[in-house]
Amino acid sequence: MGPVTMTLRRGELAAVMGPSGSGKSTLLSLAGALDQPTEGQVLVGGIDLASLRPAVLADLRRRTVGSVFQDFNLLPGLNARENVSLPLELDRVPLHEARAAAEAALGRVGLGDLAHRFPDDLSGGERQRIAIARAFVGTKSLLLADEPTGALDSVTGERIMRLLRELCDAGLSAIVATHNASHAAWCDRVLYLKDGQLAGSPDSVSAAGGA
Amino acid sequence: MTVRNSLLAILSGQSAHGYALKSTFEDSTAGTWTLNIGQVYTTLDRLERDGLVEGVSSDDPKRRTWQITEAGRKELSGWYEAPVLDDPPARDELAIKVLLAVAADGVDLTDLIQRQREATMEKLQGYTRHKRRADPDEQLPWLLMLDALVLKAEAQLKWLDLCEERLRDRRAR
Ligand SMILES: Nc1ncnc2c1ncn2[C@@H]1O[C@H](COP(=O)(O)OP(=O)(O)OP(=O)(O)O)[C@@H](O)[C@H]1O
Ligand SMILES: [Mg+2]
């Protein structure tokens, strides 16, 4: 990756576009501290992530960053609610609290009624909404979505973008890597990556505002 | 042709004055196509000459109520039955500009493409903001029109990506 400076405000939804291999997934992993740079720094709120003790960093990451992928990554043996509450339970949140938070999150993605369904009995769009609920449940403030609409048809994909838009309007921040321009257009800002570098003038695009 | 057939389509539902035809046409094209009233009257005159509509109740064009004739209904169903072929294709200024830039010396295509990409994306973001606010029950024509505009912008962006890839391949060879 070349030097990439991006600022994500609270409540902002940003898209990262660019050809295959341009570094979209890499940028998302670095931004979410899911991966460390071989060179250079990742500054979050002015703090160099590498200066944090590994345990502190792991804690911070678990509490603040949620991820969503193209293939949903739900555990097939757990129902929707259990999938969503699992990260909280692993974080030693008391069980009844974790469940209540999971149910609230499922309600926000419009799937309150399907809490007991297993992933195999849900459509792709529904699975992705559950994965999104799992990614923001609890105290998370940053959501990283790597091609979250990649496996969905255009109407279902649009529903996912509408949902991300609503969540960000309510205060979440999110970065979405996507190949789909119509989906990127739901974002406040679109960044273009080319060979690991930002292309163009993100500021002029950001000034245009979002959906 | 589109205006002519659109007026027939509106009149097939109910007879109307010129002014009502103008506003119904504009509503059903979601405000993306405005007609001036003179254009409506000229078109109605031609339709009358061809026996596809007839004016009733008054000789004053502004007060006249127009109704569709049997021949007009036949013409209209012919229009609905014929698929729309963009033939010859409408001229595409962007495509022509890029082709000329490829042939010319000293034009920075990477910059040209990126500027166009950002501008088209900005338009796409604008359409999307409208889509967000559109009520799918009350404003279906508007929403469908926005979908069409969104997909055209998306096609343009995909084409720009493809141009960039092909140019990169050419440089690599
Ligand atoms: N862990 C890694 N170590 C070294 N190089 C890597 C690693 N992961 C990815 N890369 C390389 O970094 C570059 C960017 O990859 P990345 O997966 O971020 O691209 P992308 O934009 O997400 O592509 P796609 O659209 O295909 O998902 C590629 O050349 C890839 O081979
Ligand atoms: Mg990727």
Q: What is the pLDDT of residue A206?
A: 35
Percent of chain B with pLDDT over 90: 72
Q: Report in angstroms the alpha-carbon separations of B12 from B6, B27, B140, B149.
A: 10, 16, 21, 28
Share of chain B above pLDDT 70, in %: 99
Tens digits of per-residue pLDDT, B25-40?
988 777 778 899 999 9
With 90 as the cut, is the pLDDT of residue A7 above it? no
User: What pTM does this model have?
Assistant: 0.86
| Distance from the B84 Cα atom to the nearest Cα atom in chain A, whole angstroms | 24
Please work out whether the CB of residue A26 comes within 6 Å of at least one atom of ligand 1: yes
pLDDT of residue A72: 84
Residue B103 CA neighbour count, 13 Å, CB half = 6
pLDDT per position as a tens digit, A23-69: 999 999 988 888 888 887 887 767 888 888 888 888 888 888 999 99
Q: What tens digit of pLDDT does each residue of A64-123 get?
A: 899 999 888 899 999 999 999 999 998 899 999 999 999 999 999 999 999 999 999 999
- Would strands A13-17 and A173-177 be described as parallel, antiparallel, or unpaired? parallel
Average pLDDT over residues A129-137: 94
Pairwise CB contact (< 8 Å): B132 & A165: yes
Domain boundaries, chain B: 3-81, 93-172
Q: Is the pLDDT of residue B21 over 80?
A: yes
Per-residue confidence (pLDDT) for residue A207, from 0 to 100: 33
Nearest to A211 among B132, B151, B157 (CB): B132
CATH class of residue range B3-81: mainly alpha
Instruction: With cut-offs at 50, 70 and 90, classify the pLDDT of residue B136.
Output: confident
**Chain A: residue nearest B133 by CA?**
A211
Choosing from A16, A24, A26 the residue with most ligand 1 atoms within 8 A of its CB, the one to mutate for a pocket test is A26
Interface test with A, best of B124, B125, B133, B135 (most A CBs within 10 A): B125
Q: Where are the domains of chain A?
A: 13-75+124-204
**B128, B131, B161 ranked by CB distance to A19: nearest:** B161
Residue B107 main-chain phi, psi, to 5 deg: -100, 130
Angstroms from B4 CA to nearest CA on chain A: 33
Residues in chain A: 211
Residue A13 Cα, gap to closest chain B Cα (Å): 13
For B39, B78, B130, the CA distances from B24, given in Å and listed in that order, are 14, 22, 21
Write the residue with the smallest CA distance to atom 6 of ligand 1: A26
Q: Per CATH, which fold does A13-75+124-204 belong to?
A: Rossmann fold (3.40.50)
CA–centroid distance for A166 within its chain: 13
Interface TM-score (ipTM) > 0.90: no
**B85: pLDDT strictly greater than 50:** yes
User: Is the pLDDT reported for residue A210 higher than 60?
Assistant: no
- Most B-contacting residue of A190, A191, A193, A198 (CB-CB within 10 A), to test interface: A190
Residue A208 pLDDT > 50, yes or no?
no
Confidence grade of residue B56 (pLDDT, cut at 50, 70, 90): confident
CA separation for the pair B81, B92 (Å, rounded) = 27
Percent of all residues in chain A with a pLDDT value above 90, rounded to a whole number: 61
Chain A residues bordering chain B (beta-carbon distance below 8 Å): 19, 162, 165, 180-182, 184-187, 190, 192, 199-201, 204-205, 208-211
Taking CA–CA distances from B112, the nearest residue in chain A reads: A200
